[in-house]
Amino acid sequence: MLRYDPRNATLTFNGLLPGVARGSPLLTEVQAFVASRHVRSLPAHRRIDKRRVDVECSHRRGALSVVLRVKGAHHAYAVRKGVNLVGEIFTVLQASYPEYVWEAFGVPVE
- pLDDT tens-place values along the chain, 110 residues long: 899 999 999 999 999 999 999 999 999 999 999 999 999 999 988 999 999 999 999 999 999 999 999 999 999 999 999 999 999 999 999 999 999 999 999 877 66
Q: What is the pLDDT of residues 12-27, one digit of tens each?
A: 999 999 999 999 999 9
pTM for this structure?
Answer: 0.92
CA dihedral 12, 18, 21, 26 (to 10 degrees): -80
Show Cβ contacts of residue 19 under 8 Å, excluding neighbours closer than 6 positions. Answer: 62, 63, 100, 103, 104
How many other C-beta atoms are found inside a 10 Å radius of the C-beta of residue 66? Answer: 22
**Distance between CA atoms of residues 11 and 82, nearest Å:** 8
DSSP-assigned beta bridge partners for residue 107 = none
Contact present, 78 and 53 (Cβ < 8 Å):
yes
CA distance 9 to 20: 26
Q: What is the pLDDT of residue 106?
A: 86
